Structure 1
């Protein structure tokens, strides 16, 4: 094609005469052809450049769907999921086209960090921006979550779960009758002190905030809580630690953790209360005299818990109460609530001290600890002076 252009220019430069006119006309024809070919060349080259640009640009633009999507689909986001993990879940369910598109939409929405765990109703093939908006809309969330505070008894836990899930309390009670079926290993139900065990789910339903599948049964929910308990105790080395350092079984240490959870007024006192329990039960072979065990028995029998000063002698000394710690030496037959991680750690690693007594000395819940009756009496006077209502005040 370049040769044709050269010829056209050469012929156009020749002299006149009839022969020259003919050559000029011929040259002009060839020039027109050359011009058309040149324009065609640039058009092809330009199209190639455009197509190349489009293809390269595609590597930088996140693949995304358009619109609000089609068929509804349930999506479950587990606790502590990152935005990338959420995006991957959505891509797998074909809610969004790419994780990158979801992340870009999330970055553009400051509230995206508030996306909560739970089960949501979204739609397949949604625009990523629409998916983010739906995840932040409380109306699309099926499971609202339920928080089980530390120190709640199994009975109280069942009531909270029933309220949150709509599953009857009796279903949870039935499921809890066989703790081993819920995942509690049989070795947990062993003691070194020769006492019987209650062998219930009490103590094994770990306190935390949970997001349960709306279709989960009572048994599945309790299994999740037991699994969480086993995970936490495994992470802190609870079972091995108490057997090696305290020479007690994990079950006995769990009982102590539950007692500390019920008696301590703040986290700092949890290990100290645990030390008192160990000292009284194992070193001095004396009754614990923890009022919380009496209140636990009252609750099991459908009665309300009472303040320590309101408990009667008959209630505290009830011979039918297997959790009696007023007159019975040693630990009760089982845990009395669900202790949290801090209480478990306190029961696993209590401080070395000779304490046998403790009493709350201020309205913030702090306790004073003593090794002798004389020290304890001084602490009780301090409590009375601070306005704490004791039977001795």
Structure 2
């Protein structure tokens, strides 16, 4: 008889049993057990008691696992574990242009760069904020992404836009009077600052020059308009008629020139207080600031001396 049948019969017996006798009955010597009532089945010993407890103790080495009778057989109860989808990790650093970002994503995922380029054109599908004016430059938020291999280019770019939107809300950029200007300035700050600590001062220089009606004269915008890279624009570059030539045109360029990170966005929104109108990279990692033309010329001479020393 299997243990389920033993349990069934034992429980049936127990349903009509009288209250159990006092323990003294078993402890006092010389007393006879009362006669069994007619029709009762003989009591079952160890097996029946184990069945009535409704548990089976399985000894596995030195480990005990307790399983009720209603539990499934452990040999057949393993839950199927679905493997996690495969992912690729991609890091998009601050100051990367959108064109470079799309190429990096294509290389990492093995998807055509043209598919990313096409996806980037649909600002509505990507969830771009209205002040992006449909362009994704400046809104592909930098950072490290674990991308499922099943994600489409549109999925990937939409996730970057979503992270930008969250950051813009957290920093107060989205609530500023002109969030587009903040993003453009942040992209300039990102491109021109060798260190994060320089960003609030660079933002102040840009704001001060805009407030005075001065041209920004930034080589980074000139080179962006020409689709080139470099440390400094040439004399020929400065003659360009590109709308990004901030030597010839006053005010901000028509759009961001790179994708800024949180530090640059915060700096653009809250520049450091100061009178500076110029900044000069006197060495590859050192930026100095000037409040007058005379101070500016001195910094230029320092840069030239450093260049000759190298």
In 2, Cα distance between equivalents of 1:227 and 1:64: 47
The counterpart of 2:236, out of the listed 314, 329, 345, is 314
| Alpha-carbon distance in structure 2 between the residues aligned to 1:347 and 1:328 | 21
Classify 1:216/1:366 alpha carbon distance in 2 versus 1 (closer, same or farther; 3 Å): same
Residue 113 of structure 2 is aligned to residue 169 of structure 1: yes
Task: Give the Cα–Cα distance (whole angstroms) in 1 for the partners of residues 308 and 90 of structure 2.
Answer: 34
Q: How does 1:51-62 map to 2 (within 5 A)?
A: 51=55, 57=66
Distance 1:326 1:213 in 2: 44
The answer on whether the counterparts of 1:360 and 1:388 sit within 8 Å (CA) in structure 2 is: no
Partner of 2:260: 339
For residues 361 and 229 of structure 1, the distance between their equivalents in structure 2, rounded to whole angstroms, comes to 33
Tell me the distance in 2 between the aligned counterparts of 1:158 and 1:65: 50
Count of aligned positions = 271
What is residue 260 of structure 1 aligned with on the other side? 189
TM-score (normalizing by structure 2) = 0.75
The yes-or-no answer on 1:382 pairing with 2:306 is: no
- Deviation of 1:181 after TM superposition, in Å, equals 3.1
SS of alignment partner, residue 295 of structure 2: helix
Give the deviation of 1:263 after TM superposition.
0.4
- 1:187-221 CA-partner distances (Å, limit 9, x unpaired): 444xxxxxxxxx52100100111122222222222
Structure 1 SS opposite 2:95: coil
> What corresponds to 2:219 in structure 1?
291
1:180-329 to structure 2, matched below 5 A, reads 180-189=124-133, 199-240=134-175, 242-243=176-177, 249-281=178-210, 283-299=211-227, 304-308=228-232, 311-319=233-241, 321-329=242-250
Unpaired segments ≥5 residues, structure 2? 1-19, 36-41, 59-63
3-state DSSP of counterpart to 2:55: helix
1:79-118 matches, within 5 Å, as 95-96=80-81
Q: What TM-score do you get using the length of structure 1 for normalisation?
A: 0.60
Equivalent residues in 2 for 1:122-161 (5 A)? 122=83, 142-161=86-105
Alignment partners' CA distance in 1, 2:286 and 2:75: 59
* Match in the other structure for 2:287: 367
Corresponding residue number in structure 1 for 2:61: none
Gapped runs of 5+ residues in structure 1?
A: 12-29, 31-36, 70-93, 97-120, 123-134, 136-140, 190-198, 244-248
Deviations 1:144-201 (CA, angstroms, capped at 9, x unpaired): 2111111110100110011011221111112222323321132444xxxxxxxxx521
Alpha-carbon offset, residue 142 of structure 1: 2.4
Higher strand share: 2
CA contact (8 A) 1:147 1:210 kept: yes
Aligned residues: CA RMSD: 3.6
Q: Matched residue of 1:145: which SS?
A: strand
In structure 2, distance between residues paired with 1:179 and 1:46: 69
Q: Point out the structure with the larger helix share.
A: 1
Q: SS state of the match for residue 211, structure 1?
A: strand
Kept in 1, the 8 Å contact 2:129–2:165? The answer is no
Tell me, yes or no, if the aligned pair for 1:142 and 1:214 is still in contact at 8 Å. Answer: yes
Q: Please give the secondary structure, in 2, of the residue aligned with 1:323.
A: coil
